[in-house]
């Protein structure tokens, strides 16, 4: 195998592996963008028109910051306030993943 072929093969492997890890990370982000961002905003600040009109609390609000992951999962699953329940729209795994993604805004 020539050096050029080895470099091409190595580059292809690196691209494939980086694409796979990026896909795994972006699944929760894609779900958030599709189901949550319209009210909770792009960074959890509830600064979207819908979030403002429904008075959604931003991720920085103490009531949200202090909410446990389990309570957030239950809120997404069963609904909370004006938020509709997602138990029939998202799997338990998707709900846990999107909550974990949302919690990254706390950092």
Look up the CATH number of the domain holding residue 40. 1.10.760.10
Cα gap 68→75, rounded to integer Å: 11
pLDDT in the model for residue 47: 97
In a domain, 45, yes or no: yes
- Supply the Cα-derived Rg of the chain in whole angstroms: 19
Per DSSP, 83 falls in state B
Output the pLDDT for position 14: 53
Number of domains in the chain: 1
Q: What whole-number distance in Å separates Cα of residue 99 and Cα of residue 36?
A: 10
User: What is the span of the domain harbouring residue 100?
Assistant: 27-106
d(CA 75, CA 38): 17
Specify if 100 maps to a domain. Answer: yes
66 assigned to some structural domain:
yes
Q: What is the pLDDT along the chain (107 residues), one digit of tens a residue?
A: 676 655 554 555 554 554 544 444 579 999 999 999 999 999 999 999 999 999 999 999 999 999 999 999 999 999 999 999 999 999 999 999 999 999 999 98
In a domain, 1, yes or no: no
- Could you list the beta-strand ranges (E) of the chain: none
């Amino acid at each position: 195998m020539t050096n050029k072929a080895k470099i091409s093969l190595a580059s292809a492997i690196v691209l494939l592996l980086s694409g796979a890890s990026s896909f795994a990370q972006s699944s929760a982000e894609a779900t958030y963008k599709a189901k949550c961002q319209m009210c909770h905003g792009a960074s959890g600040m509830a600064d979207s028109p819908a979030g403002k009109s429904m008075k959604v609390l931003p991720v920085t609000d103490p009531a949200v910051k202090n909410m446990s992951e389990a309570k957030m999962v239950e809120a997404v699953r069963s609904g909370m306030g004006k938020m509709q329940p997602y138990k029939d729209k998202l799997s338990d795994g998707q709900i846990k993943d999107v909550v974990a993604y949302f919690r990254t805004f706390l950092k």
